[in-house]
Amino acid sequence: MTQHVPVLLARVLELLEPAVARPAAVLVDATVGLGGHADALLSAHPGLTLIGLDRDPEALARSGERLARHGDRVHLVHAVYDELADVLTRLGLSGTNSVDGVLMDLGVSSMQLDLTERGFAYAQDAPLDMRMDPTAELTAAEVLNTYSAADLARVLRDYGEERFARRIADAVVAARAQEPFAYSGRLVRLLYDAVPAASRRTGGHPAKRTFQALRIEVNGELEALRRALPAALAALRVGGRIVVESYQSLEDRLVKRAFAELAKSRTPPGLPVELPGHGPQLRLLTRGAEQADEQETEHNPRAASVRLRAAERILEAA
**DSSP annotation string for 248-306:** SHHHHHHHHHHHHHHTS--SPTT-SSPPTT-S-SEEE-SSS-B---HHHHHH-GGGGG-
What is the residue-averaged pLDDT of the chain? 91
CB 215 within 8 A of CB 108: yes
What residue numbers does the annotated binding site cover? 35-37, 54, 81, 105, 112
Q: Which of 85-89, 220-224, 268-272 has the lowest mean pLDDT?
A: 268-272
Q: Does domain 115-219 have CATH number 1.10.150.170?
A: yes
How is residue 128 annotated by DSSP?
S
**CA–CA separation, 280 and 277 (whole Å):** 9
> Is the model's pLDDT at 115 over the cut of 50?
yes
Higher-confidence residue of 290 and 196: namely: 290
Q: What is the pLDDT of residue 276?
A: 79
Q: Where are the domains of the chain?
A: 9-111+221-313, 115-219
Determine the 3-state secondary structure of 177 from DSSP.
helix
Does pTM top 0.85 for this prediction? yes
pLDDT band, residue 226 (cuts 50/70/90):
very high
Same fold, 9-111+221-313 and 115-219: no
Determine the 3-state secondary structure of 189 from DSSP.
helix
**CA–CA separation, 113 and 7 (whole Å):** 15
What residue numbers does the annotated binding site for S-adenosyl-L-methionine cover? 35-37, 54, 81, 105, 112
229 burial level (CB within 10 Å; 0-12, 13-18, 19+): buried
Q: What is the pLDDT of residue 94?
A: 87
> Is the model's pLDDT at 123 over the cut of 50?
yes
Q: What is the pLDDT of residue 198?
A: 64
Q: Which of 64-78, 176-190, 194-208 has the lowest mean pLDDT?
A: 194-208
Over residues 263-282, the mean pLDDT reads 83
pLDDT band, residue 2 (cuts 50/70/90):
very low
- What are the backbone dihedrals phi and psi of residue 172, each rounded to the nearest 5 degrees, phi first? -65, -45
CB 261 within 8 A of CB 270: no
**CA–CA separation, 195 and 187 (whole Å):** 12
Q: What is the pLDDT of residue 1?
A: 39
- Return the ∠ at Cα 251 (arms to 213 and 228), rounded to 5°: 110
pLDDT tens string 46-98: 999 999 999 999 999 999 999 999 999 999 999 999 999 999 999 999 888 99
Q: What is the pLDDT of residue 125?
A: 87
> Is the model's pLDDT at 178 over the cut of 50?
yes
For residue 179, what are the CA distances in angstroms to 130, 141, 174, 213?
Answer: 20, 12, 9, 22
Q: Does domain 9-111+221-313 have CATH number 3.40.50.150?
A: yes
Determine the 3-state secondary structure of 196 from DSSP.
coil
The amino acid at 103: L
